[in-house]
Structure 1
């Protein structure tokens, strides 16, 4: 039992889910630091400040990358503002009030009702109204910020109804031939009347590219730009990773490249780990650091305290019988019982990567969310509802086809194919990597 929202930013925690949400961390978020450890993180904030006006979604970037990107929305003030990140003041206020509830009042509730609105209303007194106000304010911030009270009263309901009915058309994209005498030449011509783009890449001479990195809908012409030189980027290698010469091997190795593999610490050789460095990264593949020396990784069903102790296709998790053991990643069938299921519903034990609570109250592996037909066009986000409500709602977005489609759920075929390939990596190739590097892109590129 650990106090909710009590672990300080930067402090290490046992695990961090793909959603980066953690109810242990003081700001509710976690990440993986440069050493590969799961730590509590500061919640994302708007880089330019949430009170500043925006012109498009590009103005709504965050200080981190823990949440989905914010969006630039028109409001009743006649100006546009970004939707809020968790670290922006109104949402942080909701978070501070939530802590107040848990720390001061929640003990009045039945254990299963500790976070229910009815019990909050009973025991939280005036602060409950403040909490409700900030929840609503934070969710509708772009629409109500700086708006006049009488406008809010008259138009708020109509605004939301109109917003649901209004479906802006997607821009259209066509390949056409046109001449350009400008310098640099225009390769994408925008027509503001029809909101369409005509593309002619032949206007770009050798050594120039027609690249638009601004947005899908820049609402302006795009000109040819000089091709950027493709640099060969290399990184220092870790034990077991491929090399051509000794200099390819980084600080965690012995500095030797033998048989085209960087060499690390072998089994049974005691060594001291430099301060702040993870000991596991010094070991050759198949080994982990036990605090004194590199020892063999544990097999399936053996007791463990952390995932790096387990063979590379396994994770260290409690099983349904409450034993913490090495379990094969993504191995439990849909419907199989598991020990715990986080609020994000993500589980790397389950075959489709998701879990839930069944009708009997047991935590079980679940089918990943999916659309009935992900290839079907959509008109708004309402059309993008998942079958099981395990993920955040999918969004209806314009595409380069000139049509709108929903962003994918984990159970939609392209993302399931990604999961299938991830399983292939873990089951067939990951054993070539150092235990701490089992899911790193560099090692995957070497051996996959």
Structure 2
């Protein structure tokens, strides 16, 4: 189980006609509690912040209108074993003891399970029975069988990010292996051995693109490997596209640095094995400041295109969660401004943050 999927080495060229995301003109009437109006003829999303304090959430639906809602998506998610709760109804599997001492209980060791989501932290499901997670060096088939800070590399449990540059690894699929400190690997065509290689960054300084062919990485001189990310539509007024983040980009490197801290923490053991990198479990069990940093870095990588050059309404309605995280980051101690701004965002990330904070609090 990888922290999230990255799209590398894409074949072919894609040219997209991207929609525009803009604040609703003052003269444009909205009805039926609509917060986003989609105009299919002009490919434009007209956005209006929810003003009713009892229906303050706008749950975005692509290619259609969106309306203000009482609850956010997060409030509708049921909790896995090991996650915090208030009532039995909060828990995904209330029949294992429900909410006890404000924690959702799961199936205990040697208890029944149909998959690993049933099991309490420290366990995984095998042959419909919850058993202890495997130790490093044990034989495995999948990541979730190993302890929460480890993955399955060629049927052996190993710690994530533990293999150094040029160190041999057992598997290398699409040049990605999260056992490598760099997350990147290369398989020698002659020997069939796989090795960890240097993280590769985007070749072009600007992340703006017209097609995937604008999103190549630099070439690794030793292996000859070159990566290509996806040119993705953003959520900006001009319909611009942006290259996805690559492992050598500063945004990704900060994310991996803090993900490694989480995987090496004792708190990660409080999560169900399938939830080892889930935001819910990280926020509930880790130090608050550390959790904010990790979640911010991850969201910045995963949603990179969506958060570039937003106007006020896209920030406050569609991407408010990210920009609130950015606001919190502004009050934390970081090593240097790149931790927050990244390699290409500059000061744009801070536009409207004070207003967002006031609106949401």
Q: TM-score, normalised by structure 1?
A: 0.46
Hey, what's the Cα distance between the residues in 1 that align with 2:57 and 2:82?
39
> Counterpart of 2:270?
432
**Which residue among 157, 161, 171 is the counterpart of 1:330?**
161
Alignment equivalent of 1:230, drawn from 57, 71, 79: 71
Instruction: Please list every run of 5 or more consecutive structure 1 residues that lacks an aligned counterpart in the other structure.
Output: 1-13, 22-66, 74-167, 319-323
Note the C-alpha offset of 1:263.
2.6
The equivalent residue for 1:367 is 198
The aligned counterpart of 2:106 is 264
Residue of 108, 120, 123 corresponding to 1:284: 120
1:410 to 232, 238, 246: 246
Residue aligned with 2:169, SS: coil
1:308 aligned to which of 121, 124, 144: 144
Q: For residues 319-361 of structure 1, give each alpha carbon's deviation from its aligned partner in whole angstroms, at most 9, with x where no partner exists.
A: xxxxx4220012212321112212x222121123221135875
Q: Which residue of 1 aligns with 2:90?
A: 248
SS of 2:182's partner is: coil
In structure 2, the residue matched to 1:28 is: none
User: For 1:71 and 1:329, how far apart are their aligned partners in 2?
Assistant: 34
In the alignment, does 2:186 pair up with 1:356? yes
Report if aligned partners of 2:57, 2:70 keep a CA contact under 8 Å in 1: no
Query: Which fold has the larger relative contact order, with Cα–Cα distance below 8 Å and residues 6 or more apart in sequence?
Result: 2
Deviations along 1:285-334, one digit per CA (max 9) or x if unpaired, are 2233555864433322234444333211111223xxxxx42200122123
Q: Output one character per residue of 1:254-287: Cα deviation in whole Å (capped at 9) or x when no partner.
A: 22433222233444xx44x36xx12x44432223
Find the counterpart in structure 1 of residue 214 from structure 2: 383
For structure 2, list consecutive stretches of 5 or more residues without a partner in the other structure. 220-224, 287-361
Other structure's SS at 1:335 match: coil
Distance 1:263 1:186 in 2: 38
Question: What is the DSSP-based 3-state SS (H/G/I as helix, E as strand, rest coil) of the residue aligned with 2:269?
Answer: helix
The TM-score with structure 2 as length reference comes to 0.55
Name the CA shift for 1:258/1:340 in 2 (closer, same or farther; >3 Å): same
- Structure 2 residue aligned with 1:443: 281
Counterpart of 2:171 in structure 1 is 340
Change (3 A) 1:366 1:259: same
Residues 21, 235 of structure 2: 8 Å contact kept: no
Count of residue pairs the alignment pairs up: 269
